[in-house]
């Protein structure tokens, strides 16, 4: 079945910024997809095309990207006569129509909208759930793996107005026996953390950030980790919950050093630290707290620090700004032994086929793969289907709060209810130093 009509429009993401939505029609009906947008973006990401007209939507309008779907991508897709089940051929066509290495001409946001809508249409054409269609495209056989969620519950970095340099502190219910139980553990601990923070810092400290986490006025990472430890203990889940960090350190990399006081305009350059010193700081945290994963510990081009740390650490080291879901960057990271984990963000690369390729390339070197939302999200839930399809066993899509985050978790609850013989990943999707995830050995 081919595409009969494609129509894109501008809608809004969870931050009130414009984004692209695509309606794709076949004889089976209407299939809709909306595209997310990040705040701390890597310089190597595919291009999110914005209008740049400061007089409208503070320069963030997407009318150009919308027009590129309506005037170029849609008509050419219809003309091609490709069946909606031919995802790879469709994505290749979209890439070819753009013709640039970073999707800068038509926009990764335009291309991704069409790519996701085609996945939805392809699943309907085959009469199967979206996760099953994606698994078949990726060549992944059942049993399906339900992921361990990584709940971002304390925010710092570019996501928050506190002094905290590190961007995210996450809870991972690795000790759960099902995704449903992981949600129970995660939500109960989230509510306990809210009480702990409220008692220590006051009621205004539990206002939530872009991803539903809290941004209390903590002095640094130690204080945040102590809060998490206290909440885990008070909720009664010691040993069942591990901690992950997303440092997003490219945000505070200055002149070859790392400034942990980067939000202070009068930060003292004498106190900025080297990559090796920062690595030692992480290692001290790993010793003291149940940390199993650290994302973007160093700047996206500080390859030497990455390689040094990965060699000396026993946890999962995840590339996000470093790798930007791009097979070429992933290849370099594999060659340099820079990390052992990939953060998979579909809008960093711009098509579903390339996202699958990126995940499989990372897995071929024994990496863990964590499928991820963006800080500017929509109610679209394709990443819930994708993480089950790929069987990577890890997803991060915010705190268990704010509907654009919870939509993904609720989609996963529905999938778990549907597949019956699904296996909950627990900690088996995580790599650890030189040890590949247990899931890869099945």
Q: Contact 117/24 with Cβ under 8 angstroms?
A: yes
What would the two tokens of residue 221 be?
Answer: 């990472």
324: left (phi over 0), alpha (psi -120 to 50) or beta: left
Instruction: Indicate the SS3 state at residue 402.
Output: coil
Sequence-distant (6+) residues with CB within 8 A of 8 are 20, 21, 22, 23, 65, 66, 69, 70, 74, 110, 113
From the candidates 240, 345, 408, 428, which is the catalytic residue? 345
Q: Are 193 and 227 in contact (CB under 8 A)?
A: yes
3-state secondary structure of 21: strand
Determine the Cα–Cα distance for residues 428 and 379; give it in Å rounded to an integer. 28
Nearest residue to 390 (alpha-carbon basis) of 122, 151, 149, 139: 139
Q: 90 φ, ψ to 5°?
A: -65, -50
211 is catalytic: yes
Tokens for 285, please give them: 């945290």
Q: Is 345 a catalytic residue?
A: yes
> DSSP letters of 206-234?
G-B-TTS-B----SSHHHHHHHHHHHHHH
Burial of 270 (0-12, 13-18, 19+ CB in 10 A): exposed
Contact at 8 Å (CB) between 113 and 6? no
Maximum CA pair distance of the chain?
A: 65
Burial class (CB in 10 A: 0-12, 13-18, 19+), 436: middle
Catalytic residue chosen out of the listed positions 45, 48, 211, 295:
211
Active site residues: 211, 345
């Amino acid at each position: 079945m081919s595409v009969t009509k494609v129509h894109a429009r501008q809608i809004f993401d969870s931050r009130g910024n414009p984004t692209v939505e695509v309606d794709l029609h076949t004889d089976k009906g209407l299939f809709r997809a909306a595209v997310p947008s990040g705040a701390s973006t890597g310089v190597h990401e595919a291009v999110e095309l914005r209008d740049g007209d400061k007089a409208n939507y503070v320069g963030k309008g997407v009318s150009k990207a919308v027009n590129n779907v309506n005037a170029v991508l849609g008509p050419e897709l219809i003309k091609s006569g490709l069946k909606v089940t031919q995802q790879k051929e469709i994505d290749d066509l979209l890439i070819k129509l753009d013709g640039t290495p970073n999707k800068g001409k038509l926009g990764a946001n335009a291309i991704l909208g069409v790519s996701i809508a085609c996945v939805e249409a392809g699943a309907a054409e085959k009469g199967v759930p979206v996760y099953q269609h994606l698994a078949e495209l990726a060549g992944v056989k059942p049993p399906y793996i339900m992921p361990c969620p990584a709940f971002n519950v304390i925010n710092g970095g570019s996501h928050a107005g506190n002094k905290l340099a590190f961007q995210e502190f996450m809870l991972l219910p690795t000790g759960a026996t099902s995704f449903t139980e992981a949600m129970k553990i995660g939500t109960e601990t989230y509510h306990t953390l809210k009480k702990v923070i409220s008692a220590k810092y006051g009621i205004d400290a539990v206002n939530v950030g872009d991803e539903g986490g809290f941004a209390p006025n903590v002095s640094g990472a130690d204080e945040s980790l102590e809060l998490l430890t206290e909440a885990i203990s008070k909720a009664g889940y010691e040993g069942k919950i591990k901690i992950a960090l997303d440092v997003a350190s490219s945000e505070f990399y200055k002149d070859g050093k790392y400034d942990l006081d980067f939000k202070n305009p009068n930060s003292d350059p004498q106190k900025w630290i080297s990559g090796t010193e920062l690595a030692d700081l992480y290692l001290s945290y790993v010793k003291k707290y149940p940390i199993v994963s650290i994302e973007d510990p160093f700047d996206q081009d500080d390859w030497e620090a990455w390689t040094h740390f990965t060699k000396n650490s026993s946890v999962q080291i995840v590339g996000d700004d470093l790798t930007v879901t791009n097979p070429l960057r992933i290849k370099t990271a594999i060659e340099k032994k820079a990390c052992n984990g990939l953060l998979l963000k579909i809008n960093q690369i711009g098509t579903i086929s390339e996202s699958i390729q990126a995940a499989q390339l990372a897995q071929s070197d024994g990496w863990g793969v964590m499928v991820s939302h963006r800080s500017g999200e929509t109610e679209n839930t394709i990443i819930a289907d994708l993480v089950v399809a790929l069987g990577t066993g890890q997803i991060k899509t915010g705190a268990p709060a704010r509907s654009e985050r919870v939509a993904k978790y609720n989609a996963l609850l529905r999938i778990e209810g549907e597949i019956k013989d699904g296996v909950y990943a627990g900690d088996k999707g995580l790599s650890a130093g030189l040890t590949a995830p247990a899931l890869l050995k099945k």
